[in-house]
């Protein structure tokens, strides 16, 4: 099988002696050894578990990577990737990041490991290269970014990292492997908040990391860190995420179709200041998005004309879109990043990036697109 549509359904297939089409869920914490110090393929569930291994193999296959590692949360995945760095390292990151990632970098790792970070616009390739210092060890990218939907040129940034022998990391949560495969562009590490599109049903919290075959030392170190740090994903959540992935390709197709239709509609509305969606020709990096992605995903950010009270009234009038954090589920969600997903950033940091109280982030679900547009139209009507 070569197509993502088939791989999403069958990458988790596991031989079962009873012929079960759905692989069983293994909840055992420990496994029988043939003799002292002579375990079989599984020994203790923190080290490895058959159900978690099924998820890890599935996501690695979809990303065309070598190894997968599943964690208790997306931030646990991020944190373990950062454990690849030694004390007092320097990291280059895109300037528009999920607020929780930025909080981890600035309010945890800066204090505990002396990590320093330079934030660069992902479109500024010269700036990324110019920011490299003697102690730079990693480049960290999101594309599309959260919440402003900026694009990063994966091939160009991977080439910069390789020239300077840096570990390249990309958060592929918004796109998923169905829309882009960063390892094929030269990245060493791909990570996901599997809570989002991979699971797709807003009922699991999980993170997954995939490493490239071209970075065996990174894979080896992450395998050690996953066990040593221990923030692994439980079997039931692994099972549920695998089940969600079976419909990933068809869900991403519907998310993308709906979001593109809604983005075009939003762009034509008089009360809208700006629409951020890479599928729009007005997006400054639309050509890159077309070249790099199979479709443009289900995430849209929109800036309203009006004060914060107007924003609150708009959100309060919605009936299908639910005001909530997170994203990537089958249902449509909306949030105000400045006070929700990115509240950990100071007002000054938010202004520097371009996050204002008028910015709303939409996670477009798989409902009927015309009904979603009608819901937004009702909300925008004073």
Residues 127-161: pLDDT tens digits? 999 999 999 999 999 999 999 999 999 999 999 99
pLDDT averaged over every residue in the chain: 96
- Residue 1 — pLDDT band, cuts 50, 70, 90? low
- Residue 343 — pLDDT band, cuts 50, 70, 90? very high
Which tens digit of pLDDT belongs to each residue from 209-250?
999 999 999 999 999 999 999 999 999 999 999 999 999 999
Tell me what the mean pLDDT of segment 298-302 comes to.
Answer: 98
Q: Where in the chain is the domain with CATH 3.90.1150.10?
A: 249-380
Tell me what the mean pLDDT of segment 176-196 comes to.
Answer: 98
The CA distance from 360 to 292, in Å, is: 25
The CA distance from 171 to 122, in Å, is: 13
Residue 14: predicted pLDDT: 85
The DSSP bridge partners found for residue 335 are 361
The CA distance from 209 to 65, in Å, is: 10
At residue 45, what are phi and psi to the nearest 5 degrees? -65, -25
Q: Which residue has the tokens 């578990």?
A: 49
Residue 271: predicted pLDDT: 86
Percent above pLDDT 90 for the chain: 95
Which tens digit of pLDDT belongs to each residue from 41-50?
999 999 999 9
Which tens digit of pLDDT belongs to each residue from 57-92?
999 999 999 999 999 999 999 999 999 999 999 999
Q: Which residues contact 272 (CB under 8 A, 6 or more apart)?
A: 266, 302, 303, 304, 305
> Domain spanning 249-380 has what CATH number?
3.90.1150.10
Q: Above 70 in pLDDT, residue 382?
A: no
Sheet containing 359-363, strands listed edge to edge, beginning at the edge strand earlier in sequence = 272-276, 299-304, 359-363, 333-335, 322-323
Q: Which residues contact 51 (CB under 8 A, 6 or more apart)?
A: 23, 24, 25, 26, 235, 236, 238, 239, 242
Q: Where in the chain is the domain with CATH 3.40.640.10?
A: 4-243
Residue 189 contacts residue 170 (beta carbons within 8 Å):
yes
Instruction: Kindly state the DSSP code that residue 24 receives in the 8-state scheme.
Output: P
The DSSP bridge partners found for residue 68 are 210
Class of the CATH domain delimited by 4-243: alpha beta
In the chain, what is the greatest distance between 2 CA atoms, to the nearest angstrom? 74
The catalytic residues are 46, 98, 171, 196
The pTM assigned to this predicted structure is 0.96
Which tens digit of pLDDT belongs to each residue from 253-276?
999 999 999 999 999 999 899 999
Beta strands in the chain (DSSP E): 67-71, 90-94, 116-120, 136-142, 167-171, 189-193, 207-211, 272-276, 299-304, 322-323, 333-335, 359-363
Residue 35: predicted pLDDT: 94
């Amino acid at each position: 099988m070569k197509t993502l549509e088939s791989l999403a359904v069958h990458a988790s297939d596991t031989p079962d002696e009873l012929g079960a089409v759905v692989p069983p869920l293994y909840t055992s914490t420990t496994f029988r050894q043939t003799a002292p110090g002579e375990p079989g393929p599984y020994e203790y569930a923190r080290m490895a578990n058959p159900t978690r291994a099924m998820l890890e193999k599935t996501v690695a296959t979809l990303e065309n990577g070598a190894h997968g590692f599943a964690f208790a949360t997306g931030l646990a995945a991020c944190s373990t990737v950062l454990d690849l760095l030694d004390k007092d390292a320097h990291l280059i990151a895109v300037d528009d990041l999920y607020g929780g990632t930025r909080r981890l970098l600035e309010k945890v790792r800066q204090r505990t490991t002396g990590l320093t970070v330079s934030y660069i616009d992902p479109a500024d390739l010269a700036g990324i290269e110019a920011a490299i210092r003697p102690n730079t060890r990693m480049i960290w990218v999101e594309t599309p970014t959260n919440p402003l939907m900026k694009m990063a040129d994966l091939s160009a940034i991977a080439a910069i990292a390789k020239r300077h022998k840096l570990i390249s990391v990309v958060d592929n949560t918004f796109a998923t492997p169905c829309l882009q495969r960063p390892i094929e562009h030269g990245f060493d590490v791909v990570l996901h908040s599997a809570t989002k599109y991979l699971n797709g049903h807003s009922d699991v919290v999980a993170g997954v990391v995939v490493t490239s075959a071209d970075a065996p030392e990174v894979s080896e170190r992450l395998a050690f860190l996953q066990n040593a740090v221990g923030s692994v994903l439980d079997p039931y959540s692994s099972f549920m995420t695998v089940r969600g992935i079976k419909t990933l390709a068809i869900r991403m197709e519907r998310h993308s179709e709906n979001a593109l239709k809604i983005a075009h509609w939003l762009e034509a509305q008089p009360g809208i200041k700006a629409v951020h969606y890479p599928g729009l020709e007005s997006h400054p990096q639309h050509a890159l998005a077309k070249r790099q992605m199979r479709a443009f995903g289900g995430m849209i950010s929109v800036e309203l004309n009006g004060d914060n009270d107007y924003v609150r009234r708009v959100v309060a009038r919605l009936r299908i879109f639910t005001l909530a954090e997170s994203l990537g589920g089958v249902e449509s969600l909306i949030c105000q990043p400045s006070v929700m997903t990115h509240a950990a950033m100071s007002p000054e940091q938010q202004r520097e990036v371009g996050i204002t109280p008028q910015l709303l982030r939409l996670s477009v679900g798989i409902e009927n697109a015309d009904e979603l547009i009608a819901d937004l139209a009702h909300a925008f009507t004073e």
